[in-house]
Structure 1
Amino acid sequence: MDKKKKRPVDEFPWQEYDKEEFKEKYPYLAKELDEGAELVIEGYRTKEEYEEEAMDFSGYNPTVIDFIRRCETDEEALEIINWMEDHGEITPEFAKELRIKLVKEGVRSFGSKKEWGWYERHRKR
């Protein structure tokens, strides 16, 4: 039997495989599929759920991102970035990356706003 020449599109993951070809190409995955999953995922966390988890802040030193998340506007965030760079708290390279993200995506791209009392509400008791 003549095998037809495969095209690049034939390598996409949704293609159908002959069972033996699949076992040959992906032996460990085939074994997992044959034996069944050992790990069962019953759910996942969303970003908001993760942020709401209680944390231990003793000895925690806020990062530039923590300060940016306190800002209301892009202009305030830019002031924070400039100040942190001028005072040697962040590198010029990192400051540039933060500015680019700020211009392209806005202040909320760094995370939800941290209101007054955020650390008290999110600490382990």
Structure 2
Amino acid sequence: MENKDSKKKAKISEDRRTIEYSRDEIESLLPNLAGELSGDQYNPLEIIPKKFEGSPRSPDEIKKATESQYDPDSELYFPKTEDYLRRCSTLEEADEIINHQLKIHEITLEYANELRQICRKHGLRYFGQKKEWGYYEKTYRNKRNSV
């Protein structure tokens, strides 16, 4: 004969934030969870910390391990005005970039005028081929894979 408590249905609390289940109901609906909660079941996802072999690394070893293989002065980290100009398609876009760089004090007025003159005289491709969408992905992924 079955116990009345084992046939109880889930009960919603008065504040309607929790639901109370009987032990039998949890065991029938969620057998794995019930086993884990009771401690009867082996937990295959148990995380066992790995013991490190040897002595801890020195600060120089850590710095070397985390050091980037790219030059920190490269366009990847600190793009120059010329790098931004290589993305432009028109002289108007180039002038907008130069004005912005001047506004945020990245370049001087003299250098801005020099860049404008170069763009008008030699064209936008004077600074290199146009950087299209995916330029950095192609350029730096290839460098990383070849190292």
Q: Say yes or no: does 1:114 pair with 2:131.
A: yes
Deviation at residue 114 of structure 1 after TM alignment: 0.3
Q: Say yes or no: does 1:60 pair with 2:74.
A: no
SS in 2 for 1:101: helix
Q: Which amino acid aligns with 2:105?
A: G
Q: Is the 8 A contact 1:57 1:119 kept in 2?
A: no
Q: Which has the larger radius of gyration?
A: 2
How many residues align? The count is 71
SS in 1 for 2:83: helix
Aligned-pair identity (%) = 51
Matches within 5 A, 1:1-125: 56=70, 60-123=77-140, 124-125=143-144
Name the stretch that deviates more: 63-72 or 104-113: 104-113
SS in 2 for 1:122: helix
* Structure 1 portions without partners, runs of 5+: 1-54
CA–CA separation in structure 2 for the residues paired with 1:111 and 1:75 = 18
Question: Which structure would you say has the larger RCO, counting Cα contacts within 8 Å and 6 or more residues apart?
Answer: 1
- List structure 1 segments (4+ residues) > 2 angstroms apart after TM superposition: 55-59
Q: Please list the CA deviations of residues 33-75 of structure 1 after superposition, one character each: whole Å capped at 9, or x if unmatched.
A: xxxxxxxxxxxxxxxxxxxxxx826662111011000011111
Q: Which residue of 2 aligns with 1:44?
A: none
TM-score, normalised by the number of residues in structure 2? 0.45
Q: Which residue of 2 aligns with 1:35?
A: none
